[in-house]
Amino acid sequence: MASAVEIDAMRRALLLARRGPRGLNPQVGAVILSPAGDVLAEGFHRGAGTPHAEVDALSQLASGEARGSTAVVTLEPCNHTGRTGPCALALIEAGVARVVYALDDPTDAAAGGADRLRAAGVDVENGVEADAAAALVHDWVTLQRTGRPHVTVKWAQSLDGRAAAADGSSQWITGPDARRDVHARRAQADAIVAGTGTVRSDDPALTARSDDGSLLEHQPVPVIVGASETAPDAAVRRHPHAPLFYATHDLRAVLADLAGRGVQRVFVEGGPTVASAFLREGLADEVLVYVAPVLIGGSRLALGDIGVASIADARRLVVASIQNLGDDLVIVAHPADDRSAPAPLGADAAPDTRGDA
Q: Where are the beta strands (DSSP E) in the chain?
A: 29-33, 39-44, 70-75, 98-103, 123-126, 150-158, 191-195, 221-225, 244-246, 265-268, 286-292, 317-325, 328-335
> How many Cβ atoms from other residues are within 10 Å of residue 5's Cβ?
15
Superfamily the domain 147-335 falls into = Dihydrofolate Reductase, subunit A (3.40.430.10)
> How many Cβ atoms from other residues are within 10 Å of residue 62's Cβ?
6
DSSP secondary-structure letter at 237?
A: G
Backbone φ and ψ of 113, nearest 5°: -65, -40
> How many Cβ atoms from other residues are within 10 Å of residue 57's Cβ?
29
* Positions of the chain with pLDDT under 70: 83, 108-110, 338-357
Closest CA to 72 of 18, 19, 133: 133
**What distance in Å separates the CA atoms of residue 62 and residue 267, rounded to the nearest whole number?**
45
**What's the pLDDT at 343?**
43
- Same fold flag, 4-142 and 147-335: no
Per-residue pLDDT tens over the stretch 14-51: 999 999 988 778 999 999 999 999 999 999 999 878 89
**What's the pLDDT at 339?**
43
- pTM, two decimals, is 0.77
**What's the pLDDT at 338?**
60
Active site residue 54: yes
Is the Cα torsion angle 350, 351, 352, 353 positive or negative in sign? negative
Closest CA to 141 of 152, 150, 130, 132: 150
**What's the pLDDT at 110?**
62
**What's the pLDDT at 50?**
87
Which of these is catalytic: 6, 42, 54, 286? 54
**What distance in Å separates the CA atoms of residue 219 and residue 222, rounded to the nearest whole number?**
9
Superfamily the domain 4-142 falls into = Cytidine Deaminase, domain 2 (3.40.140.10)
- Domain segments of the chain: what residues? 4-142, 147-335
Q: Which SS3 state, helix, strand or coil, does residue 223 take?
A: strand
Strands of the sheet containing 150-158, edge to edge, are: 244-246, 221-225, 191-195, 265-268, 150-158, 286-292, 328-335, 317-325
**What distance in Å separates the CA atoms of residue 103 and residue 126, rounded to the nearest whole number?**
7
